[in-house]
Amino acid sequence: MKTLVPAVAVWGRTAPSHSITAVMITDDQQTIVTGSQEGQICLWDLSSDLQISSKEILFGHTASVTCLAKARE
């Protein structure tokens, strides 16, 4: 059973900038991954009717994320 957990904002009144520099879609075509000039990686849910909603934002990189690749199983 898949549990849905809404994204939670942990910043103030405005979200951090996310100037997209890289985009990847998962093999199941349900998640979009974006990398940003500011160093974040964001995960987005993609519904079958092409609606996009935020899932997670990952911080930690100190440089721009200019390339995304999936790991092998």
User: What does each C-alpha distance from 2 to 5, 35, 45, 58 come to in angstroms?
Assistant: 10, 26, 13, 21
At 57, is the pLDDT very low, low, confident or very high (cuts 50, 70, 90)?
confident
What is the tens place of the pLDDT at every residue in 8-54? 556 667 766 778 899 999 999 999 999 999 898 999 998 888 888 88
**pLDDT number for residue 8:** 58
Give the CA count within 13 Å in the CB-facing half-sphere of 67. Answer: 2
